Amino acid sequence: MDSAVHPNFFQRDSILFTEQELVAQLKRAEADAGCKITGERPHRGRWDSVRELPLWAERAGLQYDSILGQRWWASKPAKDGYWVGTGLPYHFIAPDTYRRLDVMEIPVFNCDNRDFWEPHQYSLRYKPGAYKTFLAGLGLSEDEAFERWKAFLEQTIEKYPTAYGYNWDPVYLANNQPKLNAPYSTDTHFRKCITYAKSRGVGLISSNGLNAFWRGREKVAIRYIAGDAGSSTAKYAVSSSVKLDASTLMVPLKFRGRRARVSVNGRETDCTAVKVLGRQHALFAVDVGPEELLITVRYE
């Protein structure tokens, strides 16, 4: 379960789209949650506000945003997909200076209860000059929504080595609490998805956890030690200023027709063969920390 701020801007309620309002809502959310908040999932990050919100978030001390990833239209249902080019986290770039912001986007494929709403057209005005109309809702049953989710998950496993972001709204998981006007307000769909993901060996992580993990990856250092084409062997050391469990590394799967065998500190480790950018690689996971690990790759 994530603790993140869900900033709200509605002109009709006199909630202005300003940086000061974002900071005020963040402070209220932290007071309510009783903890430091590092992420946001705004209502309208996809509509005319992506140039402002990441800059405001950085100045407010937020580390990630998680709302992009779907595409919405006024006359047809939203469509899931890699609309931002990836399912993995990436850093925003300042629109004027092209500086890499210390704020990441963690894309989501689906959010709220959109699969279960009956199709309905919404119109909103949340900042001056930004009036948007979109169609939301697919009217699916929980079983139909699961099969739709399952197809995307299989692609992330078999076709695109990536992450699949899904936001289960707390209202959806309320398990039929009274006075909740939400279709399918049970955790049945959630449980089916999680159970199936585990059966396929998929790791589960929250947005907060993925933010921390991804930032930890950027602190990993790789030091070249030696390489010998004659013996088809390479050695390098891996370390990090912070402890990072299960950091994934990869090497070419084959060299001169020979397959990679990888050892960590002298002990052979399991590898998974995947295709990345059209080439076969061997992926393996290591627990990284300040003490260097010796990685040896032999092609036999």
Asked if 298 and 233 touch (Cβ cutoff 8 Å), the reply is yes
Q: Is the dihedral of CA 166, 169, 174, 180 positive or negative?
A: negative
Same-domain check for residues 279 and 154? no
Same-domain check for residues 259 and 244? yes
Distance in angstroms (rounded) separating the CA atoms of residues 71 and 69: 7
pLDDT at 181: 63
Average pLDDT score over residue span 178-199: 82
Average pLDDT score over residue span 109-113: 79
Strand order in the sheet with 100-105: 39-40, 64-65, 100-105, 90-93
Same-domain check for residues 165 and 237? no
pLDDT at 46: 66
In a domain, 73, yes or no: yes
- Segments forming the whole domain that contains residue 36: 11-213
pLDDT at 56: 95
Evaluate if residue 146 carries a pLDDT over 70. Answer: yes
Residue 67 phi, psi dihedral angles, 5° rounding: -145, -25
Residue 224, domain CATH: 2.60.40.1180
Distance in angstroms (rounded) separating the CA atoms of residues 119 and 127: 25
- Distances, alpha carbon 242 to alpha carbons 75, 254, 284, in Å: 48, 31, 19
Structurally, how many domains does the chain consist of?
2
Residue 288: pLDDT band with limits 50, 70, 90: very high
Average pLDDT score over residue span 22-37: 94
Evaluate if residue 257 carries a pLDDT over 90. Answer: yes
Average pLDDT score over residue span 33-47: 84
In percent, the amount of the chain with pLDDT more than 90 equals 54
Domain boundary pick from 173, 189, 213: 213
Evaluate if residue 178 carries a pLDDT over 60. Answer: no
Domain boundary pick from 197, 213, 229: 213
In a domain, 15, yes or no: yes
Average pLDDT score over residue span 158-178: 77
Average pLDDT score over residue span 269-291: 92
pLDDT at 176: 64
- Residue 109: helix, strand or coil by DSSP? coil
Residue 196: pLDDT band with limits 50, 70, 90: very high
19-33 vs 53-60: helix crossing angle, rounded to 10: 50
Average pLDDT score over residue span 115-125: 86
Residue 108: pLDDT band with limits 50, 70, 90: confident
In a domain, 4, yes or no: no
Q: How does the average pLDDT of the chain come out, rounded?
A: 89
Residue 49: pLDDT band with limits 50, 70, 90: confident
Same-domain check for residues 266 and 204? no
Same-domain check for residues 279 and 181? no
Same-domain check for residues 108 and 252? no
Asked if 235 and 294 touch (Cβ cutoff 8 Å), the reply is yes
- Residue 59: helix, strand or coil by DSSP? helix
Same-domain check for residues 172 and 235? no
In a domain, 3, yes or no: no
pLDDT at 273: 92
In a domain, 27, yes or no: yes
Radius of gyration of the chain (CA): 22
Asked if 261 and 270 touch (Cβ cutoff 8 Å), the reply is no
pLDDT at 44: 65
Evaluate if residue 179 carries a pLDDT over 80. Answer: no
